[in-house]
Structure 1
Amino acid sequence: MEKQLVFVKENEVVTDSVTIAEMFGKEHRNVLRDIETQMEYSGEEFAKLNFEQCDYINDSAKGINRHRKYKKFNLTEEAFTLIVFSYNTKEAVQTKIRFIQEFKRMKEYIQAQERPKAMSDKESLLASMKLTIQLNEDVDGMKEDIKQLRDDIDKKITLDYSQQQAMKNAVNKRVHKLWNEDMVDKSIYENTRRLYSALWKNLKDAYRVNAYPNILQKDFEEAMSFIEGWRPIFNGIKTA
């Protein structure tokens, strides 16, 4: 089985000092020495970002050393390049190329995993249906909100000027009709002014307002019908 040259650690592609030692045919202690030298030369900031010290267990160790932990370093591609820069035999150069290719391949693999997966036709259709349903629900909710808003507005908007004039004309017409056609007891309503007063009072009481302009617009048609059919009441009895 071919040795894995690079691996992913915390979403970053790295190799380690043990792998470098094995692949370049060097003693691990010598690779550690090279790493520590380059960490010192490169400065604290670079070293902190590109070298990570950790432990490992040497599977080939025997006896009391079998479970002993040894020091190693994980290296980014930049750190790896710095360490093996001076390894210039033919075999070393070929090994560098393998490492570089593996770093590139692994980075491309990570990027592919992070890229959004293309949806199948079925998934796309389901997503579209889900979005349509959500949009319909949102529209229905908006319609309900608009209806509620309109209802609230209707409860507050009173008669406009033209409606007030139409209502006054309807009252005048109704009073004159009742008076001129002898449809009221003129012994009770001595003149049309008292008849006007009675109609206006009954109208305001019916719509619970202190003045007819405060009648709501939504009640306009109903109020006009009330006026057209109004007859005076005396002692609780509506006149003929």
Structure 2
Amino acid sequence: MEKQLVFVKENEAVTDSVAIAEMFGKNHDDVLKDVRRQMEYAGIEFSLGNFSESNYTNSRGRTYPKYDLTEEAFALVVFSYNTKEAVQIKIRFIQEFKRMKEYIQSKEQPKAMSDKESLLASMKLTIQLNEDVDGMKEDIKQLRYDIDKKITLDYSQQQAMRNAVNKRVHKLWNEDMVDKSIYENTRRIYSALWKNLKDAYRVNAYPNILQKDFEEAMSFVEGWRPIFNGSHSA
């Protein structure tokens, strides 16, 4: 099987000194001398980026040093190989470098989607976005619910509650809607109403009634009537 002239190493197209020796009919040691000479001439910066020393194992299982070369390093080393046959071999190497670079580039670029694939991807993204939005709506709904369970009456609501209690107590007292033998004065009616209100909403003080229950609590106050069994006397 013919040796691969150009291969991929660390995502870069390279050849090696072994391939050069075989293709140009040279002794590998002589090619190594050519490589090292050009590295010396080219300088450290160029050499580090374009030549890489490694090893290979021959058919007898013995390990020897070799160099991997970029296309620029290859051109530098074989520049003086100018027989007719050598020029044809250079062309083959150049073609292989070009082919391998195109192969590397094709792997790096994402495959273009067909219209059908693009539509399906768009639909999938839309569905995912809708699911995310629905999830956010549920989270917001739950957050609002949690907040509603914690926010108590603000100052204006507390004032409105006190006014409603005052209005209800005076209405009950002035219209003789309470048993005045039990509720000797308005203070006892106030006490009974406040106690019933706190018990109804399970709070130790009316400001702790939740805002979500405000309207209902106001209706409770406006419709409240004392029980005439003495159980609400203070």
TM-score interval for Structure 1 and Structure 2 normalised by the shorter chain: 0.7 to 0.9
The C-alpha deviation readout for 1:162-207, integer Å capped at 9, x for no partner, is: 3233323322332233223332211011122321222122212322
- Give aligned-pair identity as a percent: 83
| 8 A Cα contact 1:179 1:192, kept in partner | yes
Q: Helix, strand or coil: the match of 1:13?
A: strand
Matched, 1:95 2:89: yes
Letter in 1 for 2:32: L
| 8 A Cα contact 2:182 2:230, kept in partner | no
Matched, 1:79 2:79: no
The residue number in structure 1 matching 2:200 is: 206
Could you tell me how far apart the structure 1 residues matched to 2:130 and 2:149 are? 28
Give the TM-score normalised by structure 1: 0.81
**Higher mean Cα deviation, 138-147 or 90-99?**
90-99
**Higher mean Cα deviation, 99-108 or 171-180?**
171-180
Rate the CA distance shift 1:183–1:105 in 2: closer, same or farther, 3 A. Answer: same
Aligned residue among 202, 217, 226 for 1:223: 217
The residue number in structure 2 matching 1:63 is: none
RMSD across aligned positions (CA):
2.7
* Superposition map of 1:1-150 within 5 A: 4-43=4-43, 46-49=46-49, 50-58=51-59, 66-150=60-144
How far is the alpha carbon of 1:46 from its aligned partner? 4.4
Could you tell me how far apart the structure 1 residues matched to 2:63 and 2:172 are? 113
Could you tell me which runs of 5 or more consecutive residues in structure 2 were left unpaired when the two chains were aligned: none
How far is the alpha carbon of 1:78 from its aligned partner? 2.4
Could you tell me how far apart the structure 2 residues matched to 1:194 and 1:170 are? 16
Could you tell me how far apart the structure 2 residues matched to 1:48 and 1:166 are? 84
Matched, 1:169 2:170: no
**Higher mean Cα deviation, 215-224 or 46-55?**
46-55
How far is the alpha carbon of 1:212 from its aligned partner? 2.3
Could you tell me how far apart the structure 1 residues matched to 2:43 and 2:54 are? 16
Give the TM-score normalised by structure 2: 0.83
Q: Helix, strand or coil: the match of 2:112?
A: coil
**Higher mean Cα deviation, 77-86 or 118-127?**
118-127
Could you tell me how far apart the structure 2 residues matched to 1:102 and 1:236 are? 107
Q: Helix, strand or coil: the match of 2:79?
A: helix
The residue number in structure 2 matching 1:184 is: 178
